[in-house]
A and B are shown apart, each in its own frame.
Chain A
Amino acid sequence: MRDRHGVAATVREILGTVCPAVQAAGVEVVDDTRLGRDQLGLDSIEIAEVLLACEEQFETRIEALLDGTPLTFGRVVDHFAGA
C-alpha cells in the first residue's frame, strides 16, 4: 500500500505533463472527476498515455482499470495506492 495523498499528487503531476491544457485551465481534479471528454476533457489516447505513465511510475499494471467502466481520478489513485 502506498500513501494515497502521495499517489494522488503524482497522478496530478502526470496529468499535467500529458495534458498541459488541463493544468493551464486550473481544473479542480477530485476523486469523482472523470478523465474523459465529458469532464476533464482527455481523449482516449491521452487517457491511455496517463495510465501508461502511471504504470511506469508505480511499476503496477493497469489491466484492472480497463474493465470498461468510466475512469475517474479516484479510481486511478486507488489502483496505484493499492487500495
Chain B
Amino acid sequence: MTRSLPRSAVVLLATRSPRLLYGSLDVLSRAVGSRAHRGVTAERVAAVFPALSAAEAERAARQVHASALKTRALAVALGHTRSDPPYPIVRVDSSASALPSPAVLISFHVGPFAALAHVLQRLPGEVLAPHYTNWTFPRNVRAIGGDRDEAERAAAFYRAVTMLRAGAHVFLMVETIRGLGVEVPLLGGSIPLARGAFALSRLTRVPVMPLFARWTGPDVTVAAGETIAPCGDETAQATAAARALERHLLAHPGEIGAGLPTEIIRSRSRATGRRAAS
C-alpha cells in the first residue's frame, strides 16, 4: 500500500510530522482491513498463538497489518533521506535505558526494527552495524557492508571483533536462514538463527543484548530482553535469544509480521512429520 503513496509525501511527513504519518496509516489499515495484508489472517495468528481468544487473534491480525504498513513507510523514509534520519517518536523502556558496554546488540526482523537506530545514536562512541541497506544511519553508527560476498562478510566480522575488543558496541540483525545457523525452539516450532552475534560474543566474551521495537500507535517503544552472558556455547546463547523473542511476541503478537508465522507453522509440520516417521 505504501507503493501507492508518493515517496516524497512519506518522506516529508516522516520528517515534519511523524505522528500524523503513522497515525494516518493506522487509520488507513483499519479501513482497508487485514485481508489486504497477504497471508496474515486471524486464523494464522491463532495457529501461532493458540492461547489467544478469537477476538484477540483478530485484533492481533489487524495489528500485524498496521505494523507492516507503518514499518514499510519508515523504511521508505529512511531510505530516501540524506540528512538526519526521520525517526518516529521513540520511547525507550527502562529495560533499554542503560545498555551494557561493550555489548553485541541484536534484534530480529519483527516490528519497526529500523527505529532501533534512534537508541544506537544515544550510545557513547561509535557503533558498528554490519549491514547492507540503503538507510541513512545516525552519525555515530558505522554501517559496513557485510552481505555481498564471503570475503566482505569475513572482513565485517573481523572489524566487529576489533570494535568490541576496543570497548565499542556492535549492532546486528539476526537473520533466519534455513539450512544455515543454529536451529532453536520458538513458539512451539523452531527457527534457524545465524551464528554471527553469538560467535562474536564467544570470541570477545562480550554479552549479547536483544532489543525489540514495537509500534505503540503512531510512536515506537524500544525495550530490551535479558542480557545473554558470554558462555562459549553459541547454541545456548541462540536459544536464549529465541526465548527473548518469544517473550516479546507473546506479549505483543501484533508485531510478528508476515514471514515468521509461516516459518513457525512449517517447522511444526516438519517436526510432526519426523515424529510420525520414527
Contact = CB atoms under 8 A, between A and B. Distances in A.
B124 to A, nearest CB: 25
Contact of A66 (B151, B195, B196): B151
**What range describes how many residues of B lie at the interface?**
10 to 19
Interface string A37-61: 1000001110111011000000000
Contacts of B196: 45
A48 B152 contact: no
A36 B155 CA distance: 13
A18 B100 CA distance: 29
A69 B150 CA distance: 10
B144 to A, nearest CB: 11
Interface in B145-188: 150-158, 161
A49 B150 contact: no
Contacts of A47: 150-151, 154
A47 B155 CA distance: 9
Nearest to A44: B153
**What range describes how many residues of A lie at the interface?**
10 to 19
Interface of A: 36-37, 43-45, 47-49, 51-52, 62, 66, 68-71
Interface of B: 150-158, 161, 195-196, 199, 203
Contacts of B156: 44
Nearest to A66: B155
B177 to A, nearest CB: 11
A47 B196 CA distance: 12
Contacts of B153: 44
B158 A70 contact: no
B150 A36 contact: yes
A39 to B, nearest CB: 11
